[in-house]
Amino acid sequence: MTEMKYANEINKRKSFAIIAHPDAGKTTLTEKFLLFGGAIQTAGAVKSNKIKKHTTSDFMEIERQRGISVATSVMTFEYRDILVNLLDTPGHKDFAEDTYRTLTAVDSVVLVIDCVKGVEEQTKKLMEVCRMRDTPVIIFVNKLDRDGKNPFDLLDELEELLNIRVRPLSWPISMGKDFKGVYNLYDKSFVSFAANRKATDEDIVPMPDLTSPQVDELFNTTDAAQLRNDVELIEGVYDPFDKQPYLEGKLAPVFFGSAVNNFGVKDLLDTFVEIAPVPRDREASTRTVKVGEDKFSGFIFKIHANLDPRHRDRIAFLRVCSGKFERNKYFHHVRLDKDVRFANPYNFLAREKNIIDDAYPGDVVGLFDTGNFKIGDTLTEGENFYFTGIPSFSPELFKELVNKDPMKTKQLEKGISQLTDEGVAQLFTQHNGNRKIIGCVGDLQFEVIQYRLLQEYGASCQFNSLPFYKACWITGPKQKLEDFIRFKSANVVEDKDGHLVYLAQSEWYLNTERANNPDIEFHFTSEIHK
């Protein structure tokens, strides 16, 4: 009975993240999705002198100034009777950790590629995280209104560099200033392109047979011949599209379009709601949690402080994994071993929040947090387990946090504690000392922390660079660790959870210590719950 009770709700939900290298057009694509879902009336642009409205999903002041996304935003909208939970992630490599963790909370991914630049460094890294979990991926090749790489070359590049088979489901007719539109291979229709104008239903021409004279009437002889050849080649080289390998993360369908012109986006969204996976079972520390179970469970994958600068609020983002989340009901906080309830749980449209009474697997719920939550925390109806596979990565840049205003020590302590709880950076404290060291994946992180400490907490600080190369979590027999700490006290720190971390000055030092201490294990990622 339980399975039946939830089956309808579960099958209505699809949650996915949009990922890409910076500037590939991720946030613009997010806006267009919201537009189709009726969630917003006009789409904004990230960088444009003509469009005065900023994007809905970039709501932090620093994001508007820089024209980049620095934090994942969560948005929910309805499209063709499917409830879509969309997470727009930061593309900048300095914020990769936020993106990696967001990927643990979604069931599938849309990867945006710039047709001019092709596959970039950050794209490869993001794809590796998807491969680790076999997350289903749909690829959107963006910016066809510019002259870019040959589509066939792009497909080869995707297969080779991203280590996944691809299958085009739409195909561009020319590109750049000669761009005519896209032929949909999935439902055999053509959508014509006109610059500076939205694609409407009138632009869609059914074209079941490419040999018909209608094709020659629509295009010039060269384009018609090219389209016929291309489609024949695609059908000859690529297997017919099969949903199963896509759901197993082995095959990526590819769409072509131009997000800023709202072009090719509807094809993508229509196919997405049809083929994307519904929420699935999840691995936990003691067993596999079935998505249709009666009992509620979920985990925190992101924490964001001061979403509304007027109210010093912290929101913890919860992904529901099983059962039903209910407002005002007591749930068990596994790490703290206490029961908590939430009077005002939210769903989101970026900064706009709506109070909800219940949520089902696949949904992302915002919970007001007074400091109870850390990333990776699990909520259940009494059972003790953790969801596994939420990574914490080894930082590569280290700076000492120096307080510039002793009168504001308390605000600085509180601010740095809350910001590092969000997972934007890692806080290390000198073993038996009070020196605070911040570790980040990228330099821009330090600027964001400094800016937010001043704006949100009124604390001014400076960062002094430290000559460390990598942080390694260390585990081993108690006596061996104590000896190691005694000899290396200047290089041993503790992370926020009290785990021991060795800061190596260089690769040579790291290799030497590993060779000299065979009983101690050095880890480059710390899974938040082992």
Question: What pLDDT, in 10s, does the model give residues 467-482?
Answer: 998 888 898 999 999 9
- The model's pTM is 0.78
Would you state the pLDDT for residue 240? 85
Would you state the pLDDT for residue 85? 85
Would you state the pLDDT for residue 81? 87
- Which residues are within 8 A (CB) of 515 and not within 5 positions of it... i.e. 6 or more apart? none
Which two three-digit tokens encode residue 297? 């469970």
Which two three-digit tokens encode residue 153? 């070359």
Instruction: State yes or no: pLDDT of 48 exceeds 60.
Output: no
Which 8-state DSSP code applies to residue 441? S
- Average pLDDT in the chain: 80
Mapping DSSP onto H, E and C, the string for 485-503 reads HHHCHHHEEECCCCCEEEE
Between 145 and 438, whose confidence is greater? 438
- Which residues are within 8 A (CB) of 406 and not within 5 positions of it... i.e. 6 or more apart? none
pLDDT band at 391 (very low <50, low <70, confident <90, very high): low
179-198: pLDDT as tens digits? 888 888 877 777 777 665 55
Comparing 69-73, 360-364, 444-448, which segment has the lowest mean pLDDT?
A: 69-73
Would you state the pLDDT for residue 513? 92
Would you state the pLDDT for residue 420? 80
Instruction: State yes or no: pLDDT of 449 exceeds 90.
Output: no
pLDDT band at 376 (very low <50, low <70, confident <90, very high): confident
Among 473, 470, 528, smallest CA distance to 500 is for: 473
Among 425, 303, 374, 388, smallest CA distance to 132 is for: 388
97-115: pLDDT as tens digits? 667 778 888 899 999 999 8
202-232: pLDDT as tens digits? 567 777 677 777 777 777 778 888 888 998 9
Between 527 and 106, whose confidence is greater? 106
Would you state the pLDDT for residue 68? 38
Element containing residue 87 per DSSP (H, E): strand 82-88
Mapping DSSP onto H, E and C, the string for 116-132 reads CCECCHHHHHHHHHHHH
275-293: pLDDT as tens digits? 999 998 888 888 989 988 8
Partner residues linked to 318 by β-bridges: 300, 365
